Structure 1
C-alpha cells in the first residue's frame, strides 16, 4: 500500500475470497498477531448458515488494521489467497465508479497480488481483483483507487504497456448498463448477417448469388460438419450497413428451396443468450401479472377428481379460464390449479370452497404463489419465530448467531452464563421401552428437552479408559446417562465465542457417580434414521460415531474435541463422517482453538 491508509472512523477490514471452511477462530489465529481484535464475523447465508466467502474484522486500533492490510493481503488461507481491503459500509463509492479502472488482455500468470503490486505505485488501492474461473485467470480485472486522479495516472501510464510480454488495455470502468447502451449503438450499424434454414444442398456460391443482389459482399460462409456437409446456416458480410439492413428486410421469412429462411443481424453467443433471457423474463413477468390474484391453488384432492370435475365444482363462482389437476402419469398428485377471469371471482371461490368436502376430502384453497414468494414468506415467519424465542430465552439462540460470531472483549473476566440460568436435564429416558443407547465420554446438555444448549455443553472430560467419577454441581440433576452440567465457565480472556467451537468449561465442585461407559457405534449413519430421529438424539447418533474416530487421532483430547465438533450443523457432520480429510481438518481446528485458550488462561494443556 502506497503511503498511509485512508482515515476511517472504525478500524474495520473486509476479508474476501475466503474458502467456505474458514471460521472465525481461524481468522483470529491469522490476524491476532497484527494487534488486539474487537470482533470477527464470517458472513453466512441466513438459512443454510453456509459461509458467503467474506468476513469483517474489527481491530481496536486503526494502525493495527493497516498493518494487517499491508502485511497479510493475498496470503494463502485454506489453499486460497485472501483479499483484504478497508470496509466500506457506504456502497455509494463502489457504485459510483469513481477511481475504478478496468484492465484486460492480461497474461494468465498475473494474479491479485501481482496486479496490486503493479498499480499500487499510482495511489491508495481500495480493491484489486483478477477475475477467475475454475481454470484460472480470465485475462481481465479491476483496480479501484480512492481518488479519480490516481485512476487517471494509472490509465495514462499503463494503457498499452507490456505486462509479462502482453500489451494490456487499461481504461475507465463502465457499468453493464453503459456497456449495453454503447454496444446497442454499434449494433445498429451492423454489416454481418446470419442466415439459417436454407437446407443442406446450398453452397457458398448459391448463397452469394442470392444475397449479392442487395450490395457488395465481403465474405460468404456456409457452416459445415466434420464430413464437409452443410449444416443449413451461414453468414454474409456486406461492405455497407445499408445493404445488410436491406437484405434482412427483404429475405427474412422468404421461401427458398422449399424452406422459409431466417435472416437477421449476426450476434455473439453471449449477446444472443442475454437477449433471449431478457425476452423470457419479460414473458414470465407478463404471465405473473396476468394471473396475479386470479389463480387458485387447490390441494387435498380426492384421487377421483379430474380436470372436468374440478372445473364443475368451481364454476358457480365465476368464469374459469383454466382448471388443471396435476398428475404423475395417469395418477393424481392430489393438487391442482383453478384460474378465474377476475380477482373478485377468485376471492369468492376461496371463501366458499376452502374447507368444503368434495368426494371424501376437505379442500384447501388459497391464492397460488410463486416459489420465490412462498420461500420469502416462510423465511419471514421463521425469522419472526426465532426472534420471539430469542426474546423469551436468549440462551436458545445457539445455532443461529452466537456460534458464528466471535467477539473479543477486554480483559475483564466473567462466566458466560450464571449457574442459576442453566435448566435441568430431562429426567425421562430418551428411548422408552428400549435398552439404553451406547454413550460416549462426550457431553451434551439440552434446553426444554428439544433444543441443544451449546453454550454450556462442553465440560471437562476425563479419558475414556479411566472410569473416574465426573465432577458436577450438586444442584443439577443427572438422570440421563452420559450427561453432565457445569456451574460455571472458564475465563476465556477475550475469546469467549468462535464460529463452530466452544471452549471447555471449568472443573466444578461436588462429585456424582457416573454410569459405566459403553462402546461407541462404528456403523454407518443412514440418512433415513437421522431424519426420523428427534433433534436431541441426532447429536447423540453423531457423537457415538465421531468419538472412536477422534480417539484414534487424539486419545487424551477425544472427549473435548467430540463435544466441540457436535456444535457443527448436522449436514457438515455427515460430511465429516464420510470424508477423512474433512475430519482431520476439523480436528486440527479444534486443537488450535484449545491451544489458544490454554495460552490465554495460562493453564497447562490437559
Structure 2
C-alpha cells in the first residue's frame, strides 16, 4: 500500500465502491476504491481501500471523515499498511468500559498520548460490548497508554488497558489444552419449558448456575434456550444425554453454546463448503419439498422418501415451534434424487399434494428466473410497453432526466431537473420493440428500461418517494433486478427495506 491509501472499516454490507468514491472525492482526487469481498459469494467483508492521488488529500479525508456515518454505521478510517506486525505492536486492548463510552470518548482519552491510527468500540445490536481497541502509530505510544490509563476510572468504572495479543498467539498459548465450555444450547423443545422448568430438568446432570428459555415479544417460548453449568463436565454430560433424545415426539438438539461471531464463522464456512461442493459436481442430489402438512417432521419426511435411495440428510424448516411447510431431502446420488422427484412430485401426503423440485441456491434461482424473463420478453414481440414518467403520475418535485423528445419516458439518475405537477394526461401505450433489444442495449439503455418497469409499481406503493426509491433500486445487480420485477413479494421487500433506510437516515440527520 502506498502512503496515499486509506483503510476504511466497519462498513455496512450494502456500501459499494461507487458510494465510497462519491464520498471520498469531496476530499480530493481518488484514484481507486476497492471493497474487499468473499471469494465465492462476493459479499462485502466490511472494509475497503481508498487510494488518493495525493497523500495530503488522504490525510485530509482521514481527519475530517473518520467516524462519519454511511448506511447508518460510523466508518473507521486509518492508514493502510502492507503488514500487520507493526500495527499489532502498537495496539492496546481496553476492557470494562461503561456502555455509554463511544469511539469519540475513547479517542479523546488516548489522543493526548500519541497519534492514533484507529480507534474502535466493539458493538452488537444492543450497543457497546464494553471493550475496544486503540491503535497508535508507534509501540512506544502504546506502552505509555498502558502506563497512564490502566486503572483509570472512566464513567464510574475502573478500566483495564493491556497490550493487544493477536488470536494466533492466544491460541498458541493455550497449546493442546481443550477448550472447556460450561454453556449448553438446547433447541426443539417447543413450549414445554420455561426458565424454572428447564433449570430443574437440567440439574440432574450437575449444578446449574442459570437457565434461560428464549421468548418472543409476547413472552411465548421460541423453542430453544441456554443452560450454564458450574462444571464443564456437567455440560458435556448434558449434551451427551439430551442430543437426539425425544420430548413429546420431538427430537431434541444440544451443543456447546457459541458466541455469535463463532456461530457466524461456522455457518459461513458451511455455506462456502456447500458452494464449493456444488461447483465440484454434487449438484442434483438435493430436493426442495413444499406444501408439507404441519404434522410432518424430519423423521416422517425421511420415511416418505426412503424408498428411492440412500438419504444423507433431511430437514423440515421451522422456528423451533412449528413447521414452515417446506424442507429439503438430500440423496447420495443424482439418480436417486431424480427418481424421487419424478415419483413424489404431486403425491398426496396427509391430504396435501407435495411439490418437489431440485433445490437451488438463491443466486441460481434468481439467475434462472431472470433468464426465463428474458426469454419471455423475446417471445412477446408485440408487447405493449407504457411510458414511465407520465405527467399524471408525477408527484410534486419529482426528478426526471432532461432528454430529447424522442427519448422522453426513459429513466436515468443523471442531469435531473424538477418538473411541476401536471394535470392528468393519458398517453396511448406505445408498442415496444422486440425484447431482444434489451440484451443488445447499452448498460445505460438497459437501466432506462428497468427504470420504466420499476417506477409505476413503486408509485402505487409510495407515490411521494417513487422517484427516489426507483433510483435506489436501480443500484441492484441487473439479473437480480429482473427477478425482483417478476416477484411482487421480492419487490415489496426491497421497497420496504429502502423506505426503512431512508427513514433511519432522516432521523439521524434530524439529530
Q: Who wins on radius of gyration, i.e. which is larger?
A: 1
Q: Calculate the TM-score normalised by the size of structure 2.
A: 0.50
Q: Calculate the TM-score normalised by the size of structure 1.
A: 0.43
